[in-house]
């Protein structure tokens, strides 16, 4: 069954939306939903089986069902059941209740943990994020309180049958993110759902249902009431998981969320650039192109790309019939630091991202750098991110990769030895040469290390001799 289902999934792209809908209906009737065979899914099956044997309705629920129908292997499995938390705890010794009043219990099966939630209906939302409480109910009512139709599906893994009370299968076939029920109600209940709608549309490569998109535009300003940590988590997932992160940022702008979450990025729209260096267009277009061209980015690269030119609108000026952005890298680094602190990113990540942004224009001068300066550039812990940022920057503008190729070649040539070798001369050595403790030691230490990197000295003894001569020449 699993092998046959794998053959079916690729064919979906060749069918019309209506044909796909009919196909899914037939697949459900024939119990052909693919159930993966691995320890994670086996444990999830075992939980459902145990609950069912005790007379409780139980299904896989939400994202795992969506992924299975799409032919994707889920990363986790959530279970929804008629059993209340006390009954779940009795059936699974060692289970941990993480939200008893909300009906959520964590059950461990061997090495894997699963959230088992009682079918529920949410009570009033007072803070635009969490319900005041829940009422335990049946599966259909539970489906109707969920966020989007594609996340409101249930699957019985013991039979392969799907329970769909909201038209989720049809929306999966149409590649559509649609709110369950009235979109205004769903977003008024939980403002974060607006950002999640964009994430699902972007990461799944789906479209937003027009009514759902309109409701987001209407409620967009409410997103500022959501905690910075939750906004950052969703934004980070968009940047790292969307196949076209730039298109995702454009969608955030189109539905009115970006001006609220990241007004500094929204301000890049319409900021002109000199066409001889940026034939692609304004700063917004340049940034979107870079985001879309990223290859499996990590957090540091994604945010460095997103924010690398945020200093341009504030530094733009016309000089001799040409627009210039003097010091935009430094201005942008300071602005990026404010943004990233506002989003509550970890301090180490902020420091690295800000460094990359502040230094990204240095790559224009690499072929004119002294060897010591070049070694420090290539030996920096952020160099891999900086180099990729530079590659994307060039590819999305003038297309000149000369400096990138130079750095790749320089790095390869020094691969057999450390780019930044251990200094031969220490601060203690300089102290013994009669220099008083203080900043002067640091200055001499850097000079002699530069001489080592430049190849002006061959070993420690030669370095010390060079240092003595330089110090003698510097005396009045």
The answer for residues whose C-beta is within 8 angstroms of residue 245's C-beta and 6 or more apart is 202, 238, 239, 291, 292, 294, 297, 302
The rounded mean pLDDT for the chain is 90
Helix %, strand %, coil % of the chain (to 5)? 55, 10, 30
- Whole-number pLDDT of residue 447: 87
DSSP string, 90-120: HHSTT-EEEEGGGTEEEEEETTEEEEEEE-E
Contact by Cβ (8 Å): 335, 284: no
Q: What CA–CA distance (Å, rounded) separates 384 from 461?
A: 34
- Whole-number pLDDT of residue 88: 96
Average pLDDT over residues 279-299: 96
Q: What is the CATH number of domain 2-174?
A: 3.30.460.10
- Whether the pLDDT of residue 248 is over 80: the answer is yes
- Whether the pLDDT of residue 270 is over 80: the answer is yes
- Whole-number pLDDT of residue 31: 41
For tokens 């200055």, the residue is 443
366 or 458: which leads in pLDDT = 366
**Segment holding 318, helix H or strand E:** strand 317-319
Average pLDDT over residues 439-465: 87
22: Cα within 13 Å, side-chain hemisphere: 5
- Whether the pLDDT of residue 388 is over 70: the answer is yes
Average pLDDT over residues 305-328: 94
No. of H helices and E strands in the chain? Answer: 25, 13
Pairing mode, if any, of strands 112-118 and 96-99?
Answer: unpaired
> Picking from 11-20, 204-213, 286-295, which range would have the lowest pLDDT averaged per residue?
11-20
Cα 345 off chain centre by: 12
Q: What CA–CA distance (Å, rounded) separates 135 from 401?
A: 61
| Ramachandran angles phi, psi of 74, nearest 5° | -65, 150
pLDDT (tens digit per residue) in 172-205: 999 999 999 999 999 999 999 999 999 999 999 9
Where are the domains positioned within the chain?
2-174, 178-261, 264-417, 427-474
- Whole-number pLDDT of residue 306: 98
18 or 453: which leads in pLDDT = 453
Contact by Cβ (8 Å): 200, 177: yes
- Whether the pLDDT of residue 28 is over 60: the answer is no
What are the start-end ranges of the E strands in 171-231? 176-177, 207-208
Q: How many CB atoms lie within 10 A of CB 111?
A: 8
Q: What CA–CA distance (Å, rounded) separates 334 from 238?
A: 24
The answer for residues whose C-beta is within 8 angstroms of residue 87's C-beta and 6 or more apart is 54, 56
> Picking from 128-142, 338-352, 431-445, which range would have the lowest pLDDT averaged per residue?
128-142
> pLDDT grade, residue 30 (50/70/90)?
very low
Q: What CA–CA distance (Å, rounded) separates 249 from 30?
A: 40
Contact by Cβ (8 Å): 191, 129: yes
- Whether the pLDDT of residue 144 is over 90: the answer is yes
Average pLDDT over residues 420-449: 86
The answer for residues whose C-beta is within 8 angstroms of residue 50's C-beta and 6 or more apart is 91, 92
Average pLDDT over residues 446-453: 86
The answer for residues whose C-beta is within 8 angstroms of residue 242's C-beta and 6 or more apart is 199, 202, 203, 248
Average pLDDT over residues 273-289: 95
Average pLDDT over residues 14-19: 66
> pLDDT grade, residue 14 (50/70/90)?
low
- Whole-number pLDDT of residue 116: 96
Q: What is the CATH number of domain 264-417?
A: 1.10.3210
Residues counted in the chain? 476
- R_g over Cα of the chain: 29
- Whether the pLDDT of residue 8 is over 70: the answer is no
The percent of residues in the chain predicted with pLDDT above 70, rounded, is 90
Q: Which CATH architecture has domain 178-261?
A: Orthogonal Bundle (1.10)
Average pLDDT over residues 136-145: 95
- Whole-number pLDDT of residue 4: 38
Is-above-0.85 flag for pTM?
no
């Amino acid at each position: 069954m699993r092998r046959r289902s794998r053959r079916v999934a690729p064919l979906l792209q060749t069918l019309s939306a209506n044909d796909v809908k009919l196909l899914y209906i037939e697949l459900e009737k024939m119990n052909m939903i693919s159930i993966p065979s691995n320890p994670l899914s086996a444990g999830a099956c075992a939980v459902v089986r145990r609950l069912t044997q005790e007379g409780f309705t139980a299904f896989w629920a939400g994202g795992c069902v969506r992924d299975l129908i799409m032919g994707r292997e889920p990363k986790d499995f959530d279970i929804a059941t008629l059993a209340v938390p006390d009954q779940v705890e009795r059936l699974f010794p060692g289970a941990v209740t993480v939200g008893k009043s909300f009906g959520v219990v964590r059950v461990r099966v061997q090495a894997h943990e699963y959230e088992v939630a009682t079918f529920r209906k949410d009570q009033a939302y007072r803070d635009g994020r969490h319900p005041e409480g829940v009422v335990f109910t049946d599966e259909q009512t539970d489906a109707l309180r969920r966020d989007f139709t594609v996340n409101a599906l249930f699957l019985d893994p013991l039979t392969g049958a799907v329970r769909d009370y909201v038209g989720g299968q049809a929306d999966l076939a149409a590649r559509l993110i649609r709110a369950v029920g009235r979109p205004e109600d769903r977003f008024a209940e939980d403002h974060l759902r607006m950002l999640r709608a964009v994430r699902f549309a972007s990461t799944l490569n789906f479209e937003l249902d027009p009514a759902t998109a309109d409701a987001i535009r209407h409620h967009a300003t409410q997103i500022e009431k959501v905690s910075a940590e939750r906004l950052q988590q969703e934004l980070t997932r968009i940047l790292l998981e969307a196949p076209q992160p730039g298109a995702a940022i454009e969608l955030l702008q189109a539905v009115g969320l970006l001006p609220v979450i990241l007004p500094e990025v929204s301000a890049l729209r319409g900021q002109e650039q000199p066409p001889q260096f940026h034939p692609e267009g304004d700063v917004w277009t340049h940034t979107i192109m870079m985001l879309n061209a990223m290859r499996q980015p990590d957090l540091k690269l994604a945010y460095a790309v997103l924010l690398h030119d945020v200093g341009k609108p504030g530094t733009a000026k016309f000089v001799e019939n040409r627009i210039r952005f003097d010091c935009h890298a430094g201005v942008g680094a300071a602005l990026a630091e404010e943004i990233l602190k506002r989003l509550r990113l970890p301090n180490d990540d902020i420091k690295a991202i800000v460094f990359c942004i502040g230094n990204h224009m240095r790559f224009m001068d690499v072929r004119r750098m002294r060897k010591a300066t070049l070694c420090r550039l290539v030996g920096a812990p952020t160099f891999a991110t900086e180099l990729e940022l530079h590659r994307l920057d060039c590819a999305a503008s003038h297309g000149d990769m000369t400096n990138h190729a130079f750095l790749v070649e320089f790095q390869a040539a020094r691969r057999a030895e450390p780019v930044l070798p251990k200094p031969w001369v220490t601060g203690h050595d300089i102290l013994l040469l009669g220099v008083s403790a203080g900043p002067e030691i640091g200055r001499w230490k850097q000079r002699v290390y530069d001489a080592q990197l430049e190849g002006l000295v061959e070993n420690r003894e030669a370095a010390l001799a060079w240092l003595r001569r330089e110090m003698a020449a510097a005396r009045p």
